[in-house]
């Protein structure tokens, strides 16, 4: 299981994996190309706006190359693995490579990091930090007031990006970028059908590579490669392992998925933005483009950070049905615990009525402190699901 | 539910009448609240950042649920409370500051809670500051059968240097225009919700009256804070002021609270004028940054007796002095109020607003060192302590960082925490005094 030989011998997959594995190289190459790169920290910054300005959107993820020395020095213990990794990337690993960085309110932790880096610009002016921008959406309440507010934030972003690129963004530019990104999301949706119950051809870790790798490519190339992998994967052997839906801390590498797969599980869907949530809703093309982009922010699957318990119960119920998962895994990093407060309601209203077994892993760190224990937990969970069947 | 007994003394020495008066008033107020709620009057449970003045103007009684946590902790009831949360399938070791009221909703004997227990709210007004707070508020609303109203937040795009010089007279220079307009609209939306929910009409003149009281109340707090800052040895410690201020702030904007603030000042002034130091052997003045150690307010007394180290500053009086008042509001009370309720979090938790203010207060209050309590199990915890510690220490104020849960006593280690503060006193402050 995990990433299989069939995937490793597929040219398109190999290219996606190269981008996935060395994001910094992509950032360097893009910066050297002189096209202008806008870095993104958050899950709700529309790439369409950046592409419409002729710039390249680069999603910043955590540093996984070793100890996070800077993060350990500057951040409180309440920052879990994802947030420490992000700090390390921005403050150290990508230092000097980023010119512009847009944070957004997908999680309150992004706001904290924005405030911290804004303060760092005063505290250590010699540190090579990018120009910062924050987009403060309302993502919890799905009401007109939120739509209006979010549109205003996006218009602000457009103005900012126009300043960075020196190019006026027209409605036609935005429509073209929306069409391209919709095509990209459609390609990923088609690929993800291969994680389905009837004809499961890709493993969770293979899916993470394709989804994540495609983020670090220009969209046209990404679409072509995703389609090529999709075609190839139709001929791959069935992906084995008990089918589970993953809820919890974003997985920016395949480590945890591969561990799950090595112990009898296969993650067939997830609620995080390095996986399926990233492309789960299209942008409407029949309405004014900024309005459509703002609408998507509220139409996406609610994240645990920004969704009410009731909204999460409904969304998880839908996703379990859509993916045909036979088990439900909640995996939380230390201090990344919004999920704890969703879970009993999900269990009561979705899992128990449908007879879906669940397992919760908590207080995880990076690097994993006890992979053997985690392996055993995954094995036990796989056995429980099998027994139930 | 009975109070749990601890191996160490948890009740602080109460020197001031104002502290006793505030507690007595709160108890009576609470007693009078129950029959009102039982008779069907609206009752709101609110987050600490909610604009309480709006509720007061509509005569809707309220309890701040984080303050309720403090009351339960002081009564040594919280550890048992969190057991109810655990039994319901949640974790009992995180988010304690925000989850006590939810635990009360699960308590099979709520009437045994502090002051006869928390009445059942019909309205829950929140401004969720973190992902978890929003979830707990969802659960509270469901468990109490209350209607939840969430006010939106908006980040602070502008750094205002020396914000404390603008809050009272020049509040229109705080934040940018978009943010001020945003929060004014939030207040108007809240008013509309409350009118619809309660059938009561909001009265702007009543709000003006309340804001006048708040301004006067905070005027007395400023005088008290300044008096404490300038008087050596100090006439009171935070064991005296924390409860006196926090409980009166609960009644902020009333005649009683204003008079109470004045009486607090007069009592402190009397002690200062008559050379009545709180710690007769005062050698060291300390600042306590962070939430009150509610279950163990006597913690501070040990250092007074042994080292002549007096904790003289806490955010409760400091913030009341610098952050709440809004003069010249007459033309636009809602906009003025908006700059208050939206920015308290910035002042306390957002860098560099927080660090610069703490430094200003450390200097003004002539402290020798700082104890900074960081709430161990709060997911929202993160005020950029690195920056706070560096700002204070670079300016000559050594800092001791304590990691603890201010609401739940079960993880508190009296010995370790005492040793940490002793280390600050003995190894970092005393050598400088010699």
Cβ pair A110, A118 in contact under 8 A: no
Phi, psi of B401 (to 5 degrees): -95, 120
Of B368, B385, B388, the C-alpha closest to B428 is B368
pLDDT the model gives residue B93? 87
B384 touches chain A (CB under 8 A): yes
pLDDT at B432: 94
Reported confidence tier of residue B378, pLDDT bands at 50, 70, 90: confident
> Residues in chain B, how many?
434
What percentage of chain B exceeds 70 in pLDDT? 97
Backbone dihedral angles phi then psi of residue B29, each to the nearest 5 degrees: -60, -40
Greater pLDDT, B130 or A185:
A185
**B246 vs B248: CA distance, rounded Å:** 5
Per-residue burial over A301-328, b = 16 or more CB atoms within 10 Å of its CB, e = otherwise: bbbbbbbbbebbbbbbbebbebbebbbb
Q: Which residue of A has its CA nearest to B99?
A: A341
Indicate yes or no: CB of A75 within 8 angstroms of CB of B152: no
**Residue of A73, A78, A311, A360 best to disrupt the B interface, most CBs of B under 10 A:** A78
The string of pLDDT tens digits covering residues B19-58 is 999 999 999 999 999 999 999 999 999 998 899 999 999 9
Chain B residues within 8 A of A123 when measuring between CB atoms: 387, 390
Per the CB < 8 Å rule, is B89 touching A347? yes
- Match 């008013």 to its residue by tokens: B191
User: Chain A residues with CB inside 8 Å of B135's CB?
Assistant: 308-309, 338, 341-342
Residue B284 token pair: 């060291």
Nearest-CB residue to A140 (from B150, B157, B352): B150
Distance (Å, rounded) from C-alpha B160 to C-alpha B338? Answer: 16
- At residue B341 the predicted structure's pLDDT band, cuts being 50, 70 and 90, is confident
> Which pLDDT value is given to residue B8?
65
User: What residues in B contact A91, CB-CB < 8 Å?
Assistant: none
- Other CB atoms closer than 10 Å to residue A168's CB: what's the count? 9
B282-305: per-residue pLDDT in tens? 999 999 999 988 889 889 999 999
For testing the chain A interface, which of B133, B135, B385, B388 should be mutated: the one with the most A CBs within 10 Å? B135
| Contact flag A111-B155 (C-beta cutoff 8 Å) | yes
Helix A204-215 and helix A255-262: axis angle, to 10°?
160
Q: Using alpha carbons only, what angle is made at residue A25 by residues A19 and A31, rounded to the nearest 5 degrees? A: 115
Cα–Cα distance for residue pair B287/B372, rounded to 1 Å: 8
Inter-chain CB proximity A341 and B90 less than 8 Å: yes
What does DSSP say about strands A37-41 and A100-104: parallel, antiparallel, or unpaired? parallel
Please tell me which residue of chain A has the smallest CA distance to B385: A76
Residue B3 above 60 pLDDT? no
Q: Which residues of chain A have pLDDT under 50?
A: none
Query: Which pLDDT value is given to residue B282?
Result: 97
Q: Residue B286: what pLDDT?
A: 98
Measure A332 CA to nearest chain B CA, in Å. Answer: 13
pLDDT on residue B252: 96
- B94 with A340: Cβ contact below 8 A: yes
Mark yes or no for CB contact B390/A123 under 8 Å: yes
Percent of chain B with pLDDT over 90: 79
B94 vs A: CB within 8 A: yes
Number of residues written out for chain A: 389
User: What pLDDT was estimated at residue B10?
Assistant: 67
B chain contacts of residue A342, beta-carbon cutoff 8 Å: 135
Residue B379 has pLDDT above 80, yes or no: no
More confident residue, A114 or B131: A114
Q: Does B87 contact chain A (CB < 8 Å)? A: no
Give me the mean pLDDT over the B67-88 stretch.
90
> Is B134 in contact with A140 (Cβ distance < 8 A)?
yes
Instruction: With beta carbons less than 8 A apart as the criterion, state whether B28 and B251 touch.
Output: no
Instruction: Determine whether the interchain pair B135/A79 forms a contact, defined as Cβ–Cβ distance below 8 Å.
Output: no
Residue with tokens 């040219």: A11
Is the pLDDT assigned to residue B2 strictly greater than 70? no
**Contact yes or no for A342 and B374 at CB 8 A:** no
Instruction: Give A343's contacts in chain B (Cβ within 8 Å).
Output: 89
Quick one: which of B250, B247, B377, B237 has its CA closest to B298? B237
Identity of the residue in B154, B352, B378 whose CB atom sits nearest the CB atom of A78: B378
β-bridge pairing B309-314 and A358-364: unpaired
- Find the CB nearest B382 among A78, A107, A141: A78
- Residue B172 has a CB neighbour count (10 Å cut-off) of 17
Which chain A residue's Cα is nearest to B92?
A340
Tokens 């150690």 -> residue: B293
**Cα of B88 to nearest chain A Cα, Å:** 8
**Would the pLDDT of B255 be above 90?**
yes
Q: Residue B323 — pLDDT band, cuts 50, 70, 90? A: very high
Contact B402/B378 with Cβ under 8 angstroms?
no
Tell whether B192 is within 8 A of chain A (Cβ).
no
DSSP string, A221-281: HHHHHHHHHHHHHTTSPPP-SEEEEEEES--SSSHHHHHHHHTTEEEEEESSTTTGGGGSS
Q: Cα separation of A322 and A304, whole Å?
A: 19
Name every residue in A having a CB less than 8 A away from some CB of B. Answer: 73-79, 105, 107-109, 111-112, 114-116, 118-119, 122-123, 134, 136, 138, 140-141, 145-146, 149, 304-306, 308-310, 335-338, 340-344, 347
B131/A304 Cβ within 8 A: yes
- Chain A residue whose CA is closest to B394: A123
Closest Cβ opposite residue B138 in set A74, A114, A309:
A309
Cis-peptide into B299, omega within 30 deg: no
3-state per-residue secondary structure call for B207-257: HHHHHHHHHHHHHHHHHHHHHHHHCCCCCCCHHHHHHHHHHHHHCCCCHHH
Q: How far is the C-alpha of A270 from the C-alpha of A302, rounded, in Å?
A: 12
Distance, CA of A360 to CA of A362 (rounded, Å): 6
What are the residues whose beta carbons fall under 8 Å from the beta carbon of A280, sequence distance 6 or more? A300, A301
pLDDT of residue B178: 87
The residue whose two tokens read 């930090």 is A129
Q: In the sheet that A100-104 helps form, which strands lie side by side, from edge to edge?
A: A56-59, A37-41, A100-104, A131-135
Rg of chain B taking only CA atoms, in angstroms: 21
Task: Report whether pLDDT(B408) > 90.
Answer: no
Q: Does the structure show a pLDDT above 80 at B322?
A: yes
Q: Is A38 helix (H, G, I), strand (E, B) or coil?
A: strand
Residue with tokens 């990233």: A278
B88 to A344: CB separation less than 8 angstroms, yes or no: yes
Hey, what are B71's tokens?
Answer: 């009351």
**First-residue to last-residue Cα distance in chain B:** 50
What is the distance of C-alpha B41 from the center of its chain?
26
User: Residue B7 has what pLDDT?
Assistant: 63
Q: Indicate yes or no: CB of A340 within 8 angstroms of CB of B90.
A: yes
Q: Flag whether the ipTM exceeds 0.90.
A: yes
Chain A residue numbers touching B378 (CB-CB < 8 A): 78
pTM of the predicted model, to two decimals? 0.96
Nearest to A240 by CA among A83, A349, A141, A385: A385
Closest residue to B382, CB basis, from A79, A105, A146? A79
The DSSP line for A305-368 is: TTS-HHHHHHHHHHHHHHHT-SEEEEEEETT--HHHHHHHHHIIIIIHHHT--EEEEEEE-SS-
pLDDT of B51 reads: 95
CB–CB of A119 and B385 under 8 A? no
Chain B closest CA to A145's CA: distance in Å? 10
Q: Using the beta-carbon criterion (under 8 Å), do A136 and B154 form an inter-chain contact?
A: yes
Residue B379, chain A, CB below 8 Å: the answer is yes
């Amino acid at each position: 299981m995990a990433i299989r030989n069939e995937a490793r011998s597929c040219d398109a997959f190999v290219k996606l994996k190269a981008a996935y594995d060395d994001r910094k190289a992509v950032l360097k190459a893009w910066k050297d190309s002189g096209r202008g790169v806008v870095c993104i920290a958050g899950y709700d910054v529309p790439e369409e706006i950046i592409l419409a300005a002729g710039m390249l959107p680069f999603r910043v993820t955590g540093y996984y190359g070793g100890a996070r020395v800077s993060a350990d020095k500057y951040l409180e213990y309440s920052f879990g693995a994802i947030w420490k990794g992000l700090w390390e990337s921005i403050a150290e690993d990508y230092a000097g490579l980023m010119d512009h960085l847009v944070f957004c309110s997908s999680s309150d932790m992004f706001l904290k990091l924005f405030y911290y880096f804004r303060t760092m610009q005063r505290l250590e002016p010699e540190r090579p930090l990018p120009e910062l921008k924050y987009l403060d959406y309302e993502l919890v309440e799905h009401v007109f007031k939120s739509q209006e507010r979010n549109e205003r934030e996006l218009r602000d972003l457009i103005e900012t990006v126009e300043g960075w690129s020196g190019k006026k963004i027209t409605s036609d530019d935005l429509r073209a970028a929306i069409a391209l990104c919709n095509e990209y999301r459609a390609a990923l949706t088609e690929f993800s059908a291969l994680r389905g119950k009837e004809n499961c051809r890709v493993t969770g870790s293979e899916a993470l590579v394709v989804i994540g790798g495609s983020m670090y490519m220009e969209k046209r190339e990404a679409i072509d490669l995703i389609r090529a992998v999709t075609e190839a994967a139709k001929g791959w052997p069935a992906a084995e392992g008990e089918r589970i839906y993953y809820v919890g801390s974003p997985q920016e590498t395949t480590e945890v998925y591969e561990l799950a797969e090595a112990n009898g599980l296969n993650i067939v869907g997830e609620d995080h933005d390095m996986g399926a949530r990233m492309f789960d809703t299209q942008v409407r093309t029949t309405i004014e483009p900024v309005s459509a982009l703002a609408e998507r922010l509220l139409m996406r699957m609610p994240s645990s950070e920004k969704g009410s318990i009731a909204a999460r119960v409904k969304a998880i119920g839908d996703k379990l049905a859509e993916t045909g998962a036979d088990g439900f895994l909640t995996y939380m990093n230390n201090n990344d615990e919004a999920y704890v407060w969703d879970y009993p309601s999900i269990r009561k209203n979705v899992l128990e009525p449908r007879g879906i077994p669940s397992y919760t892993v908590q207080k995880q760190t990076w690097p994993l402190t006890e992979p053997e224990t985690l392996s055993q937990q995954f094995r036990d969970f796989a056995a429980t699901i099998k027994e139930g069947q | 539910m009975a109070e749990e007994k601890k191996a160490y003394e948890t009740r602080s020495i109460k020197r001031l009448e104002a502290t006793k008066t505030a507690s007595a008033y709160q108890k009576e107020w609470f007693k009078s609240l129950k029959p009102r709620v039982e008779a069907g009057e609206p009752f709101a449970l609110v987050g600490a950042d909610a604009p309480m003045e709006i509720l007061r103007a509509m005569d809707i009684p309220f309890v701040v649920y984080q303050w309720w946590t403090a009351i339960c902790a002081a009564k040594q009831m919280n550890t048992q409370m969190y057991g109810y949360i655990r039994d319901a399938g949640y974790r009992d070791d995180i988010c304690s500051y925000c989850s006590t009221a939810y635990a009360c909703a699960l308590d099979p004997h709520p009437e045994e809670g502090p002051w006869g227990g928390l009445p059942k709210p019909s309205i829950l007004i929140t401004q969720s500051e973190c992902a978890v707070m929003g979830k707990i508020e969802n659960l509270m609303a469901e468990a109490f059968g209350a209607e939840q109203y969430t006010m939106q937040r908006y980040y602070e795009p502008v750094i205002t240097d020396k914000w404390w010089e603008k809050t009272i007279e020049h509040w229109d220079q705080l934040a940018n225009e978009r943010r001020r307009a945003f929060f004014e609209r939030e207040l108007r939306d809240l008013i509309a919700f409350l009118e619809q929910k309660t059938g009561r009409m909001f009265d702007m003149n009543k709000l003006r009256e309340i804001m006048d009281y708040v301004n006067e109340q905070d005027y007395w707090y400023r005088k008290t804070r300044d008096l404490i800052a300038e008087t050596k040895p100090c006439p009171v410690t935070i064991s005296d002021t924390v409860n006196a201020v926090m409980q009166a702030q609960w009644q902020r904007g009333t005649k009683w609270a204003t008079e109470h603030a004045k009486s607090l000042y007069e009592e402190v002034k009397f002690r200062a004028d008559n050379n009545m130091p709180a710690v007769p052997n005062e050698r060291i003045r300390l600042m306590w940054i962070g939430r009150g150690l509610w279950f163990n307010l006597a913690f501070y007394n040990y250092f007074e007796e042994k080292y002549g180290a007096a904790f003289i500053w806490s955010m409760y009086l400091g913030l009341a002095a610098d952050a709440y008042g809004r003069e010249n509001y007459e033309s636009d009370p809602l906009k003025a109020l908006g700059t208050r309720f939206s920015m308290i979090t910035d002042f306390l938790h957002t860098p560099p607003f927080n660090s610069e203010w703490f430094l200003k207060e450390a200097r003004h209050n002539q402290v020798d060192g700082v104890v900074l309590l960081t709430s161990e199990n709060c997911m929202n915890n993160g005020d950029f302590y690195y920056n706070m510690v560096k700002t204070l220490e670079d300016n000559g104020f050594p800092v001791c960082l304590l990691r603890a849960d201010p609401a739940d006593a079960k993880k508190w280690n009296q010995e370790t925490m005492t040793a940490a503060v002793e280390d600050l006193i003995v190894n970092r402050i005393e050598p400088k005094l010699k």
